[in-house]
Chains A and B, each alone.
Chain A
C-alpha cells in the first residue's frame, strides 16, 4: 500500500497562473480532505470530498479555489489566478472514516 500520494511535491507558479494539485488516496479510502498550512501555522481545513461529491467546502475561499474527486483518478485541488498569499503547503488526507493518513504535501510557491 503506497499511502497517500501527492504530486507535484513542489510547484512554482507566477502570479495569475493556475495551480493544479493532485492527490491519490490510499487504496480503499473513499474520503479525501484537503488542508492548507501556512508557515508557523497549523493546518486549516479546506474541503472534504467523497467520490463525485463535495461534502463540506466550508474552509475553501469563495473565489479561485475548487476541488473535485472524480469517479476515476485522483482528487484535484485547483487554484486559478494564483496570488502570493496562496503560497503554502497543501496537504491531502484520506480516510475510510475517521483516522486520517496524510500525504507529504505539495509546496506551492507563487512568484
Chain B
C-alpha cells in the first residue's frame, strides 16, 4: 500500500486556538480520506471523512480541507479544547475503504488549558 505522510508528529495548542494537522499522499487512486481520533488505551474512532469530489467538509468544530492537485488534505480543529487532546491519524483508501486503509503515523495533540 502507498504511503501517507502526516505532520507534525506532535502539536501543542492553547485552549481556544486552532489545531492544524496535515497529510500528503502519493497514490492518485485514493478516493476516501478519513481522520481518526485515538485516546490512550482505546481504538481509533472515525472523526470525519471526505471524498475528492469536494474541497472542504465541516462537522462542528472539525473541518477537512482537501487539495486534489497538491495531493494534500488537512484537519482543522477550531476552538480547541483540552478534551481534544488525543492522537489523530489521517488515512486514505481506494474504493471507498472497502479494501483497507493506509494510515499516517499520527499526531499527538495536546491542548493546554
Residues of A in contact, count (CB < 8 Å) = 27
Residues of chain B within 8 A (CB-CB) of A45 are 1, 100-102
A48 to B98 Cα, complex, angstroms: 9
Contact with B along A76-111 (1 / 0, CB 8 A): 000000000000000101010111111111000000
Is the interface on chain B under 10, 10 to 19, 20 to 34, or 35 or more residues? 20 to 34
Quick check: is B76 within 8 A (CB to CB) of the other chain? no
Partner of A102, one of B43, B98, B104: B43
| Sample of 4 further A-B pairs with CB below 8 A, known A40-B106, A41-B105, A102-B44 | A42-B104, A58-B1, A99-B97, A100-B101
Q: Let me know if A48 and B100 touch, CB within 8 A.
A: yes
Quick check: is B25 within 8 A (CB to CB) of the other chain? no
Q: Which residue of B lies closest to A34 (CB)?
A: B100
Q: Let me know if A56 and B100 touch, CB within 8 A.
A: yes
- In residues 2-44 of chain A, which contact B (Cβ within 8 Å)? 4, 31, 33, 35, 40-44
Residues of chain A within 8 A (CB-CB) of B54 are none
**In the complex, the 8 A-B pairs of residues with the closest C-beta atoms, listed nearest first:** A102-B43, A42-B103, A45-B100, A42-B105, A98-B96, A43-B103, A98-B97, A104-B43
A24 to B23 Cα, complex, angstroms: 32
- In residues 74-113 of chain B, which contact A (Cβ within 8 Å)? 89, 96-106
Q: Let me know if A33 and B100 touch, CB within 8 A.
A: yes
A102 to B91 Cα, complex, angstroms: 14
Residues of chain B within 8 A (CB-CB) of A54 are none
